Chains A and B, each alone.
With several copies, the nearest count.
Chain A
């Protein structure tokens, strides 16, 4: 665990594009060369959403959706006032970013890499898929995506450009009528390395299936964060089995957001 702080920057980026790309979901491209150059898949940035105001006060954590050629892309859902304020930013506006933060996905060699994303959990997986393909072009890569319905399957075109994509929707409007976990059970046969991000119940389902099959599985967690850089100790997740010791908790912003599933859930 533990990450190098030397590659973290406080950078004022320039909004290049900010547009609605799905229900309540926006995609923002930001010129931010330093953070982009240092970014690893699964890492995140802390975004300053308010100008000249102390409310909302804290930065908001958002995964790095893509980092390419000096341009950082974020994919975010408008759930509260911070993300609503972000959605109002326009081309040319300045935006303060802190990052890249956290420990991202570990890309080891594997016969078959399988990304499993649900809802907004797809955000970090596009960067991850892109990097797996770039770094290990000869290894197999499969992408499983789930959402409530067809129009909640985000960044689909982008994913389809890098690897075969299988879909599942709660309402059957696209792909399998069911959960992305069902898809994992059905579509992936031989041994695979799993990378998953999405709602906690989904990730727990994925992790439990992976454990049964003894596949490695990395999960990306979310918690409330104040600082995003290990200073506040606010972003804890409890680890079962470690009681009343320091090891009882991990900190999502520094020890994660990506963990081996076995570190977190038994």
Chain B
């Protein structure tokens, strides 16, 4: 008997809950030799801003214990070139595509959402609110419930597609932010973005990243991510997408049991570029072997 692996995020039905995380999967094409992109739940592309950004000076990445720090600095081609150069290729790959957007101001977010709304072949918008609000002295949108709600409203109004708000874990109480964006009209919440970290090269006496600080990702942060997914899924009614250190099928199941409707694979794509496709197959087999009829049975089934 066939297992139903599909899950729903708002009106959007995904073939399965396995997505790839923004910034870790390029624009998809790099992974063509290793993954059938059309078999994934969705791919999330690298964050897009209104204008092209060169990103930070090198070094941009450094390994840490079971993790890595990155300070890419949101390098991207800008929304116009993304639409004209990248989208046609992505459409040809047959993947469900989520476009991750980032801005320095509410107007940035509004314009990005509006521009992308006219573009064919986009399944959903994911809003990165870990970015600093330049008008508010650089405080990240994602650390203030009122600011997070405003961004959500602005994007939800400008977009006819599902709007996923991606939360920063660098906050005291993640449920406060989650409730704020739910109230402001988010279709779903994805979490976590990276934890802020740092490393120093003791030989040179300089930070290992030119940017001084960077984002910590990978298996090291999984326990923190799982805890936040559990807290948020227990708090809001909209779907939650789990992200953070997911590397194995067991990790996928843990996040779904904690309340995630879908998951995103990030750093693990660097370790094994075929992992996302393998997890799709593995999840189907697991559901079958464990006598479940649908992936949705896993969501939030942790016994407390």
Q: Which residues of A contact B (CB under 8 A)?
A: 5-6, 8-10, 48, 54-59, 96, 98, 223-238, 244-246, 248-249
Contact = CB atoms under 8 A, between A and B. Distances in A.
A227 B65 contact: no
Q: State which size class the interface on B falls in.
A: 35 or more
Give the one of A48, A59, A227 with max B CB within 10 A.
A227
Given A10-B272, A232-B24, A233-B72, A57 B219 contact: yes
List the 7 closest pairs (A to B, CB-CB), nearest first. A234-B61, A231-B26, A227-B270, A54-B66, A54-B219, A54-B65, A248-B54
Contact of A54 (B26, B46, B70, B218): B218
Given A5-B29, A54-B218, A224 B24 contact: no
Given A5-B33, A57-B219, A231-B26, A236 B270 contact: no
Q: Which of A5, A232, A236 has the most CB of B within 10 A?
A: A232
Contact of B58 (A55, A57, A228, A237): A237
Given A57-B271, A237-B58, A232 B33 contact: no
B66 A232 contact: no
Contacts of A231: 24-26, 30-31, 269-270, 273
Interface string B146-167: 0000000000000000000000
13 contacts: A48-B271, A55-B219, A56-B63, A229-B30, A231-B24, A231-B25, A231-B31, A231-B269, A233-B60, A235-B60, A236-B57, A238-B58, A249-B54
Nearest to A59: B271
Determine the main DSSP class of B at the interface with A. loop
A26 to B, nearest CB: 21
B68 interface: yes
B32 interface: yes
B228 interface: no
A238 B25 contact: no
B196 interface: no
A10 B68 contact: no
A54 B247 contact: yes
State the main secondary structure of chain A at its contact with B: loop
Given A6-B33, A236-B57, 6 more contacts: A48-B272, A57-B63, A57-B66, A227-B24, A229-B273, A231-B26
A234 B72 contact: yes
A8 B33 contact: yes
B55 A236 contact: yes
Interface in B215-268: 218-220, 247, 267
A232 B23 contact: yes
Contact of A58 (B23, B58, B63, B274): B63
A57 B55 CA distance: 24
B297 to A, nearest CB: 27
A96 B62 CA distance: 21
A58 B271 contact: yes
Given A5-B29, A224-B59, A232-B72, A57 B267 contact: yes
Interface string B40-60: 000000100000111101111
